[in-house]
Structure formats: structure tokens, C-alpha cells
Structure 1
Amino acid sequence: MTAAVFFGCAFIAFGPALALYIFTIATEPLRVIFLIIGAFFWLVSLLFSSLFWFMARTITDNKDGPIQKYLLILGVLVSVLVQEMFRFAYYKLLKKANEGLRSINPDETAPSMRLLAYAFMTLVIILLHVFWGIIFFDGCEKKKWSALLVVLLTHLLVSALTFISPHYGINLVSTYIIVVLMGIWAFFVAGGSCRSLKLCLLCQDKDFLLFNQRSR
């Protein structure tokens, strides 16, 4: 039972991301490099967030009570801001590199249900970061600062939803509504259309994505 729960939750959480990696990144060495760089930037942002949390806990002398509650909320806000700042820095790095690379082509719920909820939440967070990255980079490229603000606010909202983690229904439903909206936005930002979506769903044209990219 333990093994089944582990593999089930693991495939739910990381299956789609693994599929995205295999079909869109693994075949291109340059994309693998960009993926590793992006992961490095994200880890550095988490390092800075952890340093802030460590210093804040040290200053407050690990006191219990309302202080720690508000400190946790502040830590989440700072973590989101730091991650978005590093996302912007990653975009600027890619923008610069593109010029040189252009010539180179306490819970009541049963443990298994809790783990399942965590798996679904991990899945949606991975997808959201993919969609946020597409929308964020497009906003930077086209100077649509409102798009960057939407990414920042939705990131804050999803992070805030984790504070009601015992209420998995509200948490997951709200987050999945956000991921659907962000996914639709990212789809059209990436050059998708209603026609290409129809062709994809009906499997009428397996090369519609390549055609879309060439026509942009």
C-alpha cells in the first residue's frame, strides 16, 4: 500500500512535467542547458528566501505566538517576490544570451489522502511555473507590465492558498481554476489559436505547433 501511494503520488505530481521534458526539451541540448540554468536561478532564489527566514527567526529568538504566524506570512511574501525577481533576472540573461546564440540553432484526513492532495498540488505548481514563465517573458518582451503584475499577484494568491492547506477542496479547486486560466493565456501567448487547438485535439495535424512557430 505504501509503495502504491508513493508511486501514485509521484506520477501525479511529476508525470506531466516529465512528459513536457521528454517531448519538448530532452531532444534539444540547448533547451536542456536553459532548463538547468532556470533551475539554478530558482534554487538561488530559494536560498535567499531561506536566509531571510533564518535571520528573521534568529532576530525574533524563535518566540511562539502571533509573531511567528505573521512572520510566516511575511516569509511567503518575501519568497514570492524574490522568486519573481530572479525570474526577471533569468529573462534578462536569456535576452542577452539570445543575441549570441541566434547564430546557433495536524490533519483529520487519512495520510494517503493527504499525500494525494500534496501530489496534485505539486503538479499544479509545476504547471503554473511553466505558464507563468511564458506569460512573464512575453510581458517583458512586449513591455506589457500588466502581465508581469498578474503573474506576481497570482503567484501570491496561490502561495496564500497554502495557508488553508487543511481545506484541500477549497485549496485545490481554486488553484486549478488559476492554472486553467493561466494555461489558456499562455497557450495564446505562445502563438496558439482556436484552429490549432482544434487540430491538436482531433489529431488532424501533428505538425501544427511547428507550423505555428514558423509563421510567427
Structure 2
Amino acid sequence: PALGLFLFTIARDPLRIIILIAGAFFWLVSLLLSSLIWFIAVKASDPRDQPLQKGLLIFGVMFSVLLQEAFRFLYYKLLRKAIEGLVALSEDGCSPISIQQMAYVAGVGFGLMSGAFSMINLLADALGPGTVGIHGDSQLYFLTSAFMTTVLIFLHTFWGILFFHGCEHRRWWEITAVVVMHLAVSGSTFCNPLYVGSLVPSYLLMAAAAAWAYLLSGGSAQNLRRFLLCK
């Protein structure tokens, strides 16, 4: 699905590709900074204190979410300046890309980089001999992880649209809603290996975020019906 988004909506436009790569870079920098802080905290603590280590893991995840959203805001500011520059350089005084399109492409960039790192972690776990679930754990680990990676890619796309819309219209409650949803989805992964506790809420939030982003982008029930009926 993520590859389809890129091929059909981004790949043919050089400007969109640049925005996507820059968005992926912003997400990567946020991950590196949060990982560095978590690594320092772990090294400075007692590794034998299991409750403390679990607390640091929870802190690391939540801090990473907040840092990702902070970098999303910084990226919005950068793109807003870029639009002003494009308008100044254009002959007709119009930007070749709208803020809504930028929000979508930036969200896909965040999602693709997030999915790429999730896939790398899965492949690292899959290296070497072994049988998944041999010690009584779930044998669906890789399948459920793939579904979780997919939902996060789509969520980042929808969150990008919602977040940019909130920034553009100064609707801070929309920005807060994105941060809360991101925290909720990331926090639900602590229910694993009870995968129902993480996958079901995540997909429900994805459906809600998709509908919300669709409406904010100018969509309507009538347009959706025409699309489904190929009219």
C-alpha cells in the first residue's frame, strides 16, 4: 500500500519527491535524537533494576512521539516558508503545490521512513536459524508486525494532513488530537504480545483519522459514493 501511494501520487512530481525525502529526513533526525537520549538514560541507570528499565522504555517511546510531532511542526514551518518563496518566484503569483498537498506528501514521508525502520528491525529479528513461537510465544509475530507497520504508515499520512490543517488554521485542538492519537497508538504496543490490544485500537484510530482527514481535505459523502460507483 505504501509503495502504491508513492508510485501513483508522488513519483511523477519532482517537487513532491523532494518534500517526501525532506519529511523522511525530519522523522529520522527526531528518531536519532530520541534514541540518543534514551540510550544515555539506560547507560546511566542500573541495568538490574527491571521496573526502572521498563519505565525508561515507556519514557523513551513517549518522548520519541513528542519529538516526532515537534519535528512535524518544524517541518510545517519550513514548508510554509518554502511556499512563500515559490509564490514570489512564480510568474502568476501562485504556488505550484498547495499546503494540503504538502501535508499529504510530508505525512507519507514520515510514514515511509517509520515503516522502513520497522521493517529493518523485523529483518534483524529474522536473521539466523530459529522457529517463531518455539517458546510458547505467538507464531504470528511477523504477520502482526507487518500489519502494525502498515497502519503506522497510513496514520502518519493522515496525521500529517490533520496536523498541517491545525497549524494553518490555528486550530490547536486538532494538533493536540494528533499528538494524543500518536501517544495512544504507541502506548498500545505495550499490550504486545496480546496483539489484539494494539492492532484493533490502531486500525480503529486509523479509520477515524482517515475520515477526518478526508473531510478536512474537502471530501464529502456524495463524492465518496460517486468514487465507489465509478461515476
CA distance in 2, matches of 1:107, 1:137: 44
Distance in 2 of aligned mates of 1:186 and 1:63: 45
TM-score, normalising length: structure 1: 0.84
Match of 2:25 in 1: 40
Residue 79 of structure 1 corresponds to which residue in structure 2? Answer: 64
CA shift for structure 1 position 195:
1.4
Contact 1:107 1:166 in 2 (8 A): no
Q: List gaps (5 residues or longer) in structure 1.
A: 1-15, 205-216
Q: Deviations over 1:158-188 (max 9, x none)?
A: 0000101111122111110000000000111
1:76 Cα offset (Å): 0.9
Q: Which structure 2 residues correspond to residues 13-52 of structure 1 after superposition, within 5 A? A: 16-52=1-37
**Percent identity of equivalent pairs:** 53
For residue 164 of structure 1, what is the aligned residue in structure 2? 191
Give the aligned partner of residue 64 of structure 1: 49
What code does the residue aligned with 1:20 have?
A: L
Question: Aligned partners of 1:21 and 1:191: how far apart in 2?
Answer: 22
Aligned residue for 1:109, secondary structure, equals coil
Q: Which moved more, 1:185-194 or 1:34-43?
A: 185-194
Which of these residues, 128, 137, 147, is aligned with residue 108 of structure 1? 137
Whether 1:152 aligns to 2:179 is yes
Count of aligned pairs between the two proteins: 187
* Alignment correspondent of 1:95: 80
* CA deviation vs aligned residue, 1:95-145 (integer Å, no higher than 9, x gap): 0001112326376211xx211100000000000000000000000000000
Question: Conserved in 2, the CA contact under 8 Å of 1:165 and 1:171?
Answer: yes
* RMSD, matched Cα: 1.2
Helix, strand or coil: the match of 1:26? coil
Task: Give the match's secondary structure for 1:192.
Answer: coil
Query: Aligned to 2:160, which of 128, 133, 138?
Result: 133
Structure 1 Cα separation of the partners of residues 78 and 14 of structure 2: 18
Q: Which runs of 5+ in 2 are unaligned?
A: 97-134
